[in-house]
Amino acid sequence: MAKNTPRRGASRGPSKKKSRQVPGWVWLFTGLAAGLFVAFLVHLTQVQMDQGRTPNGNAGAEPSATRDDDKEQSDQKAGKDDDQPKFDFYAVLPKMEVIVPKGEDEDGPSRPVKEAQPARPAEQKQQDDDAPVAGRNDKRFVLQAGSFRSQGDADRRRAELILKGYEVRIQPVKLDNGDTWHRVMIGPYNNINALHRAQDKLAANGVETLPIQLKE
Protein backbone atom coordinates (compact mmCIF):
# COMPACT_ATOMS: atom_id res chain seq x y z
CA MET A 1 0.00 0.00 0.00
CA ALA A 2 1.52 3.26 -1.03
CA LYS A 3 2.09 6.06 1.61
CA ASN A 4 1.70 9.62 0.86
CA THR A 5 5.07 11.15 1.51
CA PRO A 6 5.42 14.87 1.91
CA ARG A 7 6.93 16.61 -0.85
CA ARG A 8 10.31 17.93 -0.39
CA GLY A 9 10.68 21.59 -0.67
CA ALA A 10 7.12 22.23 0.42
CA SER A 11 6.93 24.76 3.28
CA ARG A 12 4.37 24.95 6.05
CA GLY A 13 2.30 28.08 6.34
CA PRO A 14 3.22 30.59 9.11
CA SER A 15 1.57 29.80 12.44
CA LYS A 16 -0.49 32.63 13.97
CA LYS A 17 0.31 33.44 17.59
CA LYS A 18 -2.62 34.38 19.81
CA SER A 19 -2.01 37.77 21.56
CA ARG A 20 -2.92 37.94 25.28
CA GLN A 21 -5.27 40.79 26.19
CA VAL A 22 -5.10 42.36 29.73
CA PRO A 23 -8.42 42.01 31.50
CA GLY A 24 -10.34 45.22 32.14
CA TRP A 25 -10.58 44.68 35.87
CA VAL A 26 -6.79 44.89 36.10
CA TRP A 27 -6.82 48.37 34.64
CA LEU A 28 -9.65 49.35 36.95
CA PHE A 29 -7.79 48.12 40.03
CA THR A 30 -4.60 49.88 38.96
CA GLY A 31 -6.44 53.17 38.48
CA LEU A 32 -8.11 52.92 41.84
CA ALA A 33 -4.82 52.13 43.58
CA ALA A 34 -3.11 55.10 41.93
CA GLY A 35 -5.96 57.42 42.87
CA LEU A 36 -5.94 56.27 46.48
CA PHE A 37 -2.19 56.75 46.68
CA VAL A 38 -2.42 60.29 45.35
CA ALA A 39 -5.24 61.08 47.78
CA PHE A 40 -3.13 59.70 50.65
CA LEU A 41 -0.21 61.94 49.69
CA VAL A 42 -2.46 64.99 49.54
CA HIS A 43 -3.96 64.16 52.94
CA LEU A 44 -0.53 63.61 54.49
CA THR A 45 0.69 66.94 53.17
CA GLN A 46 -2.35 68.72 54.58
CA VAL A 47 -1.83 67.14 58.02
CA GLN A 48 1.80 68.24 58.09
CA MET A 49 0.81 71.79 57.16
CA ASP A 50 -1.81 71.87 59.94
CA GLN A 51 0.71 70.60 62.48
CA GLY A 52 3.13 73.28 61.38
CA ARG A 53 0.54 75.99 62.08
CA THR A 54 -0.64 74.57 65.43
CA PRO A 55 2.28 75.85 67.64
CA ASN A 56 1.77 79.42 66.43
CA GLY A 57 -1.91 79.20 67.17
CA ASN A 58 -1.27 77.91 70.66
CA ALA A 59 1.39 80.53 71.23
CA GLY A 60 -1.12 83.20 70.39
CA ALA A 61 -3.78 81.68 72.62
CA GLU A 62 -1.55 81.05 75.62
CA PRO A 63 -1.08 84.71 76.64
CA SER A 64 -4.83 85.20 76.42
CA ALA A 65 -5.42 82.22 78.68
CA THR A 66 -2.78 83.53 81.08
CA ARG A 67 -4.45 86.93 81.19
CA ASP A 68 -7.79 85.29 81.90
CA ASP A 69 -6.25 83.30 84.78
CA ASP A 70 -4.62 86.44 86.21
CA LYS A 71 -7.91 88.32 85.98
CA GLU A 72 -9.75 85.49 87.72
CA GLN A 73 -7.17 85.41 90.51
CA SER A 74 -7.42 89.20 90.88
CA ASP A 75 -11.20 88.97 91.10
CA GLN A 76 -10.95 86.24 93.73
CA LYS A 77 -8.47 88.28 95.72
CA ALA A 78 -10.69 91.34 95.47
CA GLY A 79 -13.60 89.24 96.67
CA LYS A 80 -11.60 88.08 99.68
CA ASP A 81 -10.57 91.65 100.45
CA ASP A 82 -14.21 92.73 100.34
CA ASP A 83 -15.02 90.14 103.00
CA GLN A 84 -12.55 91.73 105.43
CA PRO A 85 -13.53 94.82 107.47
CA LYS A 86 -12.02 97.91 105.87
CA PHE A 87 -10.47 100.31 108.35
CA ASP A 88 -7.66 102.81 108.37
CA PHE A 89 -5.98 104.52 111.29
CA TYR A 90 -4.47 107.59 109.69
CA ALA A 91 -6.56 108.53 106.66
CA VAL A 92 -9.39 110.25 108.52
CA LEU A 93 -7.74 112.13 111.36
CA PRO A 94 -9.21 115.65 111.59
CA LYS A 95 -6.74 118.51 111.70
CA MET A 96 -7.82 119.32 115.25
CA GLU A 97 -6.22 116.13 116.59
CA VAL A 98 -2.60 115.08 116.99
CA ILE A 99 -1.08 111.67 117.53
CA VAL A 100 0.48 111.19 120.95
CA PRO A 101 3.97 109.64 120.85
CA LYS A 102 4.07 106.39 122.81
CA GLY A 103 7.09 107.50 124.84
CA GLU A 104 5.44 110.69 126.08
CA ASP A 105 4.15 110.53 129.66
CA GLU A 106 3.88 112.64 132.73
CA ASP A 107 6.63 110.86 134.62
CA GLY A 108 9.47 112.11 132.43
CA PRO A 109 12.80 113.43 133.75
CA SER A 110 11.62 117.03 133.37
CA ARG A 111 9.27 116.60 136.32
CA PRO A 112 10.67 118.15 139.52
CA VAL A 113 12.13 115.64 141.94
CA LYS A 114 10.12 115.42 145.13
CA GLU A 115 11.29 114.35 148.53
CA ALA A 116 10.75 110.74 149.46
CA GLN A 117 7.33 110.11 150.92
CA PRO A 118 6.00 107.22 152.96
CA ALA A 119 4.86 104.23 150.94
CA ARG A 120 1.21 104.32 149.93
CA PRO A 121 -1.14 101.52 149.00
CA ALA A 122 -1.10 100.52 145.33
CA GLU A 123 -4.73 101.53 144.88
CA GLN A 124 -4.04 105.06 146.17
CA LYS A 125 -1.01 105.37 143.85
CA GLN A 126 -3.14 104.28 140.87
CA GLN A 127 -5.65 107.04 141.62
CA ASP A 128 -2.90 109.64 141.88
CA ASP A 129 -1.43 108.58 138.54
CA ASP A 130 -4.81 108.87 136.84
CA ALA A 131 -5.52 112.31 138.25
CA PRO A 132 -5.23 115.28 135.85
CA VAL A 133 -1.76 116.79 135.79
CA ALA A 134 -1.30 120.46 136.55
CA GLY A 135 -0.79 122.47 133.39
CA ARG A 136 -2.49 119.88 131.21
CA ASN A 137 -6.02 119.96 132.53
CA ASP A 138 -7.20 121.30 129.19
CA LYS A 139 -5.89 118.23 127.34
CA ARG A 140 -7.98 115.17 126.64
CA PHE A 141 -6.90 111.91 125.04
CA VAL A 142 -8.69 109.11 123.22
CA LEU A 143 -7.76 105.79 121.67
CA GLN A 144 -8.88 105.13 118.13
CA ALA A 145 -9.58 101.42 117.70
CA GLY A 146 -10.04 101.54 113.95
CA SER A 147 -11.76 103.59 111.27
CA PHE A 148 -14.18 101.58 109.13
CA ARG A 149 -15.96 102.25 105.87
CA SER A 150 -18.87 100.09 106.96
CA GLN A 151 -21.13 101.15 109.82
CA GLY A 152 -21.74 97.48 110.61
CA ASP A 153 -18.01 96.76 111.01
CA ALA A 154 -17.67 99.75 113.34
CA ASP A 155 -20.65 98.57 115.41
CA ARG A 156 -19.13 95.10 115.77
CA ARG A 157 -15.82 96.54 116.98
CA ARG A 158 -17.68 98.82 119.41
CA ALA A 159 -19.65 95.87 120.82
CA GLU A 160 -16.45 93.87 121.35
CA LEU A 161 -14.84 96.72 123.28
CA ILE A 162 -17.94 97.38 125.38
CA LEU A 163 -17.90 93.73 126.46
CA LYS A 164 -14.30 94.29 127.60
CA GLY A 165 -15.47 97.14 129.83
CA TYR A 166 -14.45 100.19 127.78
CA GLU A 167 -16.39 103.37 127.08
CA VAL A 168 -16.71 103.41 123.30
CA ARG A 169 -18.41 105.68 120.78
CA ILE A 170 -18.52 105.85 116.98
CA GLN A 171 -17.57 109.09 115.26
CA PRO A 172 -18.56 109.41 111.55
CA VAL A 173 -16.10 111.46 109.50
CA LYS A 174 -16.84 112.62 105.96
CA LEU A 175 -13.84 113.11 103.69
CA ASP A 176 -13.41 115.67 100.93
CA ASN A 177 -14.06 113.03 98.27
CA GLY A 178 -17.47 112.24 99.74
CA ASP A 179 -16.53 108.99 101.49
CA THR A 180 -17.67 108.49 105.07
CA TRP A 181 -15.57 106.60 107.60
CA HIS A 182 -16.73 105.45 111.04
CA ARG A 183 -14.12 105.89 113.74
CA VAL A 184 -14.29 103.74 116.87
CA MET A 185 -13.14 105.92 119.77
CA ILE A 186 -12.31 104.80 123.32
CA GLY A 187 -12.26 107.35 126.12
CA PRO A 188 -11.74 110.17 126.70
CA TYR A 189 -8.84 110.06 129.15
CA ASN A 190 -7.69 113.07 131.16
CA ASN A 191 -4.30 111.55 131.92
CA ILE A 192 -1.79 110.32 129.39
CA ASN A 193 -0.55 107.58 131.70
CA ALA A 194 -4.04 106.09 131.90
CA LEU A 195 -4.23 106.38 128.12
CA HIS A 196 -1.05 104.38 127.61
CA ARG A 197 -2.04 101.75 130.16
CA ALA A 198 -5.32 101.22 128.32
CA GLN A 199 -3.44 101.01 125.03
CA ASP A 200 -1.06 98.36 126.39
CA LYS A 201 -3.96 96.34 127.80
CA LEU A 202 -5.81 96.42 124.49
CA ALA A 203 -2.65 95.43 122.61
CA ALA A 204 -2.29 92.42 124.90
CA ASN A 205 -5.81 91.41 123.85
CA GLY A 206 -4.96 91.76 120.16
CA VAL A 207 -6.64 95.14 119.60
CA GLU A 208 -4.51 97.73 117.82
CA THR A 209 -5.20 101.33 118.82
CA LEU A 210 -3.94 104.80 118.04
CA PRO A 211 -3.44 107.32 120.89
CA ILE A 212 -4.77 110.77 120.00
CA GLN A 213 -4.70 114.08 121.82
CA LEU A 214 -7.78 116.25 121.32
CA LYS A 215 -7.25 119.96 120.89
CA GLU A 216 -9.87 122.22 122.38
State the chain's mean pLDDT as an integer: 71
Q: Which of 1-15, 70-84, 86-100, 171-185 reaches the highest mean pLDDT? A: 171-185
Rounded distance between C-alpha atoms, residue 57 and residue 61, angstroms: 6
Name which of 148, 152, 155, 153 is nearest 173 in CA terms.
Answer: 148
pLDDT of 123 above 50: yes
pTM: 0.45
Superfamily of domain 85-104+134-216: Sporulation related repeat (3.30.70.1070)
pLDDT band at 160 (very low <50, low <70, confident <90, very high): very high
* Phi, psi (rounded to 5 degrees) for 171: -115, 110
Predicted local distance difference test score (pLDDT) of residue 116:
41
Rounded distance between C-alpha atoms, residue 45 and residue 201, angstroms: 80
91-103 pLDDT, tens digit each: 455 555 677 776 5
Specify the higher pLDDT residue, 206 or 93.
206
pLDDT of 159 above 90: yes
C-alpha separations of 24 from 27, 29, 31 in Å: 5, 9, 11
Q: Which of 32-36, 168-172, 210-214 reaches the highest mean pLDDT? A: 168-172
Give residue limits of the domains in the chain.
24-84, 85-104+134-216
- What average pLDDT does range 64-91 have in this prediction? 54
